[in-house]
């Protein structure tokens, strides 16, 4: 099984098990193992209670999740990293906007470099590409556009990203601007 298939399977399983109680999760995992013929009958000592683990090591599980999310998405440039960080916050923290400090924290948790010096330039570039809504980015934070959400959701599948097409207004000159004549 390739890494991406494995991550897809894990993400699917976690999504299904998340709304269940700890006991229901244990029974579901044990039953799945029995159905698959793996003889997987898990006892209480085999399944770590997620809440207890997060109490023992606060912040550590968030860092692992951010790193896993970035590994799964495979961003290839700073703009994609910013979009993946914003989408990570939307999905895991219910955030609708992301400030400079929040980008920095997610990228740090994901073990990625944060370019503080060029942050504004990088954010402006991804706004021009349509990944973030224009405006914002100040105190309220940058807002990932609908196209940006779909873009990150399609990653790491580059063919699916290409199939999205570009949003309206991207790659076009601003109205009223004329091209300079070459002499």
N residues, the chain: 183
Q: What is the mean pLDDT of the chain?
A: 79
Is the backbone peptide bond immediately before 156 cis, with ω within 30 degrees of 0? yes
Q: Which of the four pLDDT bands, split at 50, 70 and 90, describes residue 55?
A: very low
Q: Which of the four pLDDT bands, split at 50, 70 and 90, describes residue 38?
A: low
Mean pLDDT, range 121-131, rounded to an integer: 93
pLDDT in tens, 161-170: 999 888 877 7
The domain in which residue 8 lies consists of 3-47
User: Are 74 and 133 in a shared domain?
Assistant: yes
User: Are 43 and 72 in a shared domain?
Assistant: no
Answer yes or no: is 177 within a domain.
no
Mean pLDDT, range 53-67, rounded to an integer: 56
Give the dihedral of Cα atoms 125, 169, 135, 163; nearest 10 deg. -60
pLDDT over 60 at 37, yes or no: yes
Mean pLDDT, range 78-98, rounded to an integer: 94
Total number of domains in the chain: 2
pTM of the model: 0.60
């Amino acid at each position: 099984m390739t890494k991406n298939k494995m991550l897809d399977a894990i993400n699917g399983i976690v999504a299904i098990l998340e709304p269940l109680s700890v006991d229901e999760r244990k029974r579901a995992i044990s039953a799945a193992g029995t159905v698959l013929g793996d003889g997987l009958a898990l006892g209480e000592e085999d399944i770590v209670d997620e809440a207890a683990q997060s109490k023992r090591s606060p912040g550590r599980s968030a860092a692992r999740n951010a790193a896993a999310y970035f590994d799964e998405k495979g961003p290839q440039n700073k703009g994609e990293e910013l979009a993946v960080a914003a989408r990570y916050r939307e999905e895991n923290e219910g955030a609708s906007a992301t400030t400079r400090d929040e980008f920095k924290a997610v990228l740090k948790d994901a073990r990625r470099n944060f370019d503080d010096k060029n942050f504004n330039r990088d954010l402006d570039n991804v706004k021009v590409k349509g990944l973030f809504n224009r405006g914002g980015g100040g105190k309220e934070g940058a807002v990932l556009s609908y196209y940006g959400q779909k873009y990150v959701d399609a990653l790491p599948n580059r063919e699916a990203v290409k199939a999205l097409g570009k949003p309206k207004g991207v790659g076009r000159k601003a109205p009223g601007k004329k091209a300079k004549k070459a002499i």
